Amino acid sequence: MSGPALVGITTSVTADDYLGGDPHRAHLNRAYVLAVQQAGGIPVLLPPYLNGSTLDALWDRLAGLVLTGGGDVNPQRFSEPRHDAVDGVSEARDVLELELAARAVRQGLPLLAICRGIQVLNVALGGSLHQHLPASYPDSRIAHAQQAPREYATHDVKVTVEDTKLGAVLGAPELRVNSLHHQSIKRLGRGLRDVAWAPDGVIEAVDMPEAPGLVMGVQWHPEDLVGRDPAARNLFTALVTAPNHR
């Protein structure tokens, strides 16, 4: 019997260098759960602590995947020395999400990659990252790590709407977005196309024209904007309703 789409959502976890003495945790901002539900999907959390058989059983039931924000990807994953500003690295999370990103692209499972998620997607496909934007873009006036609350949009992005899957979903050539990151795409991964940019040239969104399924990556946090932004709602609706090609 068919029903609402089950959407896997990866979680943040305790960083490898955390010294607080508390147990390791998997955690997730509630905005992701609410955004998937608002779009008609059923959220299923995917922490890296699941064993292989459990993860595979869940994977077989999923109709979509959200790669979420959080700590930095280990720069060893794209063969660069680590910048001093890199923070929040979790080897367990990197292993899980890089595998899930590659698996979703390969199998045609609809994918929405958000903030860290777009970076994971890019690295999974052989791309690299700017490890610290203030070092890579020293003259930028864009506050990519905004001080305003998460639900407030603080800078513009330009979007290529014509002949792009993601542009059609977003539905506008220019958007105002929130910004809560210090890293971004540097060298694009295999098959990815950049389709949106901040005024300073930072890549803000990608899609994948030749992928068997829908692949969308955004550097901002649409889950925090769904209450007031049609483009943010469109992203989650597109994910939940997209064909599953597995």
Catalogue the active-site residues: 115, 221, 223
Question: Quick one: 197 exposed, middle or buried, by C-beta within 10 A (0-12, 13-18, 19+)?
Answer: middle
Residue-wise burial string across 10-28, b where 16 or more C-beta atoms lie within 10 A, e elsewhere: bbbbbbeeeeeeeeeebeb
Residues near 198 by beta carbon (within 8 Å), at least 6 away in sequence: 142, 144, 155, 156, 157, 179, 204
> Rounded distance, CA 131 to CA 179, Å?
16
> Rounded distance, CA 10 to CA 237, Å?
18
Residue with tokens 């803000």: 204
Q: Is 120 helix (H, G, I), strand (E, B) or coil?
A: helix
